[in-house]
Amino acid sequence: MANKILWHPESVATLLAAELNNMANAATVIDGADYDNATNQFQLADFLLHLIDFDAAPTAGGYFELHIIYKLDGTLYGDGEHGDLGGVVVSGATFMGVFPVAATDGAQHIQLIGVPLSPFAFRVAVVNKCGQDLTAVDTHWLKICPYNHEVQ
């Protein structure tokens, strides 16, 4: 009988980097590659969004949305556009949470904790709802910190 549940973290991976450069307000960007959770089979993930600078201070109450688009049958994405870079369609079915941004023009590290993962390959998409564009620099990124609970 199990008497202890441990947190078993895995290595951190960068999902979005150059895709976030010069991201316009109200735009959606998607990772260009799959994250293979069909092999990894992590149950949960924490996400860290690093934004280095905006064209101007974001609107008060602004945020970025996180969406996960799964390849449930191993072939097709559930977004109507096969998860490609040019025509991703996000919805309430792909929505996982928000990264609230401060109304200040400067570097921000924003976390989203405890996002459940399904055991399928996926791509993440981010939607800019902060009222401002990101700058065209190579220092914005989104990282995933996947983990499982280990029962002992």
CATH of the domain at 62: 2.60.120
Q: Which tokens hold the place of 10?
A: 């895995």
pLDDT score, position 40: 85
Render each residue's pLDDT in the chain as its tens digit; 152 residues.
567 767 777 789 999 998 999 999 999 999 988 899 999 899 999 999 999 999 999 999 999 999 999 988 888 777 655 555 556 788 898 999 999 999 999 899 999 999 999 999 999 999 999 999 999 987 899 999 999 887 77
CB 23 within 8 A of CB 132: no
Q: What range does the domain containing 25 cover?
A: 5-151
In angstroms, the first-to-last Cα distance of the chain is 8
Per the structure, how many domains does the chain have?
A: 1
